[in-house]
Amino acid sequence: AYPHGPTCASNLKALCRFHHLLKTFWGGPHGWRDRQQPDGDVVWTSPSGQTYTTRPGSRLLFPSLCLPTAPITVTDTPTAHTAGLTMPRRTTTRAHDRRQRINDERQHNHTDNHATALDAIPPF
């Protein structure tokens, strides 16, 4: 993949947020590296040399998606990435976001319930 080779169907993969951040910000020769197998498996190598294999979740529902489309080209070791200013930063904690969503939903429900209760009062 860019900048170490062309992007093509044989080297594309869907990454969860965690693996995308790992590849983008902690990659390079002394960081995490990934190597995609022809069947869609991805072998991740940690900075210490430990390997981890992940398998596409689509394999169970859509096995034809894991068939090789073309040979995967082997590229040089990518240059080191930095987790500097481009690293996404949260402005609020996950707990705060969750609490805010719950409070918003409660307010919405309260407004709906209050309006329904007033509409249910008979006019006589």
* 3-state per-residue secondary structure call for 61-80: CCHHHHCCCCCCCCCCCCCC
The pLDDT value recorded for residue 112 is: 74
Per-residue confidence (pLDDT) for residue 95, from 0 to 100: 92
Residue 78 in tokens? 């990518």
- Cα dihedral 49, 38, 57, 32, rounded to 10, equals 20
Alpha-carbon dihedral 6, 58, 32, 7, rounded to 10 degrees: 10
pTM assigned to the model: 0.52
Residue (of 53, 54, 48) closest to 32 by Cα position: 48
Same structural domain for residues 93 and 55? no
Q: To which residue do tokens 């979740």 refer?
A: 57
Is residue 96 situated within a structural domain? yes
- The residue ranking higher by pLDDT, 14 or 79, is 14
Residues 95, 59 share a domain: no
CB 49, CB 37: distance < 8 Å: no
Q: Total domain count for the chain?
A: 2
Per-residue model confidence as pLDDT tens digits over 68-119: 776 766 666 555 565 565 667 778 888 999 999 999 999 998 887 776 656 6
Condensed to tens digits (0 to 9), the pLDDT of residues 51-73 reads 999 888 877 888 777 777 767 66
Q: Are 61 and 17 members of one domain?
A: yes
pLDDT at residue 1, rounded to an integer: 46
If asked whether residues 96 and 62 sit together in one domain, one would say no
